[in-house]
């Protein structure tokens, strides 16, 4: 598989590196590594990359695994063509890259090998899986070097999303002589398994670490020495310009609720069905749209039938960003009664469009959703609390809902502008790589 052409940097310079003497700054090249990219639930990564390119950075895309089948968003389909997949290279390419790395730098390879074994012993995935990560890291380093040799700027920084296997590959690539790296921690998986994921070691070797909320940063602080706390910075996920530009839209006069998210236990969709059943017993009817798909779809469909909610509930399956936007705008209130989160992008999008939200007081959600100001914060896992919030939302006058929606849109605009957050991220990449290079040179 041939390497995709590197995107051309924008003529606009990065705000963190203004031009000197009238000459544009040298292009800064960052490689992005994700376990599976593009993906229907990773549109925030796509937006982040686009915003970085608008800042003038050159971004190369790499994925450990191929993109899933069934992508529907045109932007995701375009990203798939620009992304190089490690496992798609095949076992022979991985074996050859590993052997070549061991022969070219036996000392570095030995250090990376010991680290892979150490990470594997802590992990439920075991040593063999982490030896596979080492092979992927060997191939990734070769591809990164080849990008510079092919006429593109040398990759100066590697950034991974999620503190799971992609961060492990990035760390091993660094030990093999690859560029300085950083990674974004979203949660909740990283918060649930910090030891098994070797988060402290991944952070120790990283030039910088990104948390998407203050809550997320606090969870990382728990597992690393306080001397490393400055390495962890909050850079929030950005909302698509189409959501921000639209501004808060008037709340529609209907009784429809919408929940956007993967159909799985932690999102709490099953509790919404129980709440609708309880409200129906009180004589309070409403509609529900579950926008998304996932492993719990069959269980949800079974519960819908058992509760007699077939005419009230619609499951969309995976849909494009544009259709998600239309579903949110077509509803009175947004619902997301999650049990575990980082800071859900769907919540940001709904608030940006002026829809009041009902969600749970967990993780980073209270940093954006304020009870009584732009929606309702409820206790996680409580059907009774969810019933009460839905009852209030259905009974609230449109004027009140409009006020909540405007406050929500203001909160998102002030904290989750994709371009502004990309500027902070670009500055972080540059400063982290510069610091690492300076430290390495003086060592």
Q: Please, are residues 334 and 357 in contact by the beta-carbon 8 Å criterion? A: yes
Q: Please, are residues 184 and 110 in contact by the beta-carbon 8 Å criterion? A: no
The pLDDT tens digits of the residues spanning 77-132 come to 999 999 999 999 999 999 999 999 999 999 999 999 999 999 999 999 999 999 99
The pLDDT tens digits of the residues spanning 335-359 come to 999 999 999 999 999 999 999 999 9
Q: Please, are residues 130 and 205 in contact by the beta-carbon 8 Å criterion? A: no
> Domain spans of the chain?
29-238+418-442, 241-415
| 5, pLDDT greater than 50 | no
| 220, pLDDT greater than 50 | yes
pTM over 0.85: yes
Tokens read off for 430: 């540059």
Burial class of residue 233, CB neighbours in 10 A (0-12, 13-18, 19+)? middle
DSSP-derived secondary structure letter, 77: H
User: In the predicted model, what is the mean pLDDT of residues 188-192?
Assistant: 94
From residue 212, how far is each of 39, 144, 237, 342 by CA, in Å?
A: 19, 27, 6, 7
User: In the predicted model, what is the mean pLDDT of residues 154-161?
Assistant: 96
The pLDDT tens digits of the residues spanning 226-269 come to 999 999 999 999 887 777 877 799 999 999 999 999 999 999 99
Q: Please, are residues 207 and 397 in contact by the beta-carbon 8 Å criterion? A: no
The pLDDT tens digits of the residues spanning 390-401 come to 999 999 999 999
- Model confidence band, residue 437 (pLDDT cutoffs 50, 70, 90): low
Q: What whole-number distance in Å separates Cα of residue 287 and Cα of residue 272?
A: 11
Give percent above pLDDT 90 in the chain: 83
| 11, pLDDT greater than 80 | no
Helix/strand/coil (H/E/C) assignment for every residue in 149-214:
HCCCCCCCEEEEECCCHHHHHHHHHHHCCCCCEEEEECCCHHHHCCCCCCHHHHHHHCCEEEECCH
| 440, pLDDT greater than 80 | no
Residue 436 has a pLDDT of: 65
Q: Please, are residues 136 and 94 in contact by the beta-carbon 8 Å criterion? A: yes
Q: What whole-number distance in Å separates Cα of residue 126 and Cα of residue 37?
A: 24
Q: What whole-number distance in Å separates Cα of residue 2 and Cα of residue 83?
A: 10
Phi/psi for 184 (5° steps) reads -100, 130
Tokens read off for 227: 């001397």
Q: Please, are residues 438 and 26 in contact by the beta-carbon 8 Å criterion? A: no
> Radius of gyration of the chain from Cα atoms?
23
Domain 241-415, CATH: 3.40.50.2000
The pLDDT tens digits of the residues spanning 98-111 come to 999 999 999 999 99
Residue 240 has a pLDDT of: 77
| 178, pLDDT greater than 70 | yes
Same fold, 29-238+418-442 and 241-415: yes
For the chain, give the mean pLDDT: 91
Counts for the chain of helices (H) and strands (E), in that order: 17, 13
* Domain covering 29-238+418-442 assigned CATH 3.40.50.2000 in the classification: yes
User: In the predicted model, what is the mean pLDDT of residues 213-237?
Assistant: 97
From residue 438, how far is each of 203, 432, 433 by CA, in Å?
A: 19, 10, 8
Q: What whole-number distance in Å separates Cα of residue 125 and Cα of residue 133?
A: 11
Give the side-chain half-sphere CA count within 13 A for 190: 33
292: which strand partners? Answer: 317
């Amino acid at each position: 598989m041939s390497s995709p052409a590197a995107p051309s940097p924008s003529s606009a310079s990065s705000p963190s590196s203004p031009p000197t003497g009238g000459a544009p700054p040298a292009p800064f090249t960052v490689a992005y590594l994700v376990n599976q990219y593009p993906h229907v639930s990773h549109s925030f990564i796509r937006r982040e990359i686009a915003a970085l390119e608008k800042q003038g950075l050159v971004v190369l895309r790499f994925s450990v695994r191929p993109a899933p089948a069934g992508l529907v968003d045109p932007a995701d389909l375009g990203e798939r063509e620009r992304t190089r997949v490690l496992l798609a290279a095949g076992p022979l390419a991985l074996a050859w890259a590993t052997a070549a790395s061991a022969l070219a730098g036996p000392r570095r390879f030995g250090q990376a090998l010991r680290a892979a074994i150490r990470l594997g012993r802590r992990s439920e995935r075991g040593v063999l899986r982490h030896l596979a990560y080492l092979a992927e890291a060997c191939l990734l380093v070769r591809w990164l070097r080849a990008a510079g040799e092919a006429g593109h700027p040398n990759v100066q920084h590697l950034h991974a999303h999620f503190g799971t296997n992609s961060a492990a590959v990035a760390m091993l690539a660094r030990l093999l002589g690859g560029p300085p790296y950083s990674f974004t921690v979203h949660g909740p998986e990283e918060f649930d398994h910090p030891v098994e994921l070797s988060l402290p070691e991944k952070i120790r070797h990283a030039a910088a670490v990104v948390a998407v909320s203050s809550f997320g940063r606090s969870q990382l602080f728990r597992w690393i020495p306080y001397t490393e706390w400055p390495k962890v910075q909050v850079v929030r996920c950005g909302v698509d310009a189409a959501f921000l530009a639209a501004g808060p839209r008037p709340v529609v006069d209907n009784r429809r609720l919408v929940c956007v998210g993967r159909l799985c236990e932690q999102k709490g969709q099953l509790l919404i069905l129980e709440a609708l059943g309880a409200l129906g017993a009180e004589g309070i009817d409403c509609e529900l749209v579950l926008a998304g798909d996932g492993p719990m779809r069959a269980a949800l469909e079974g519960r819908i039938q058992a509760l007699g909610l077939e005419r009230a509930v619609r499951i969309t399956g995976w849909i494009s960003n544009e259709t998600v936007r239309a579903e949110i705008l077509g509803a009175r209130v947004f619902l997301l009664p999650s049990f575990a989160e980082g800071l859900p992008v769907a919540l940001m999008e709904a608030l940006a469009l002026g829809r009041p939200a009902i969600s749970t007081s967990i993780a980073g959600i209270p940093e954006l959703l304020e009870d009584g100001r732009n929606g309702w914060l409820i206790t996680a896992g409580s059907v009774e609390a969810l019933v009460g919030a839905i009852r209030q939302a259905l009974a609230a006058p449109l004027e009140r809902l409009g006020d909540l929606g405007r406050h929500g849109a203001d909160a998102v605009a002030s904290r989750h502008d994709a371009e502004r957050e990309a500027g902070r991220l670009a500055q972080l990449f540059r400063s982290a790589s510069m610091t690492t290079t300076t430290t390495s040179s003086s060592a």
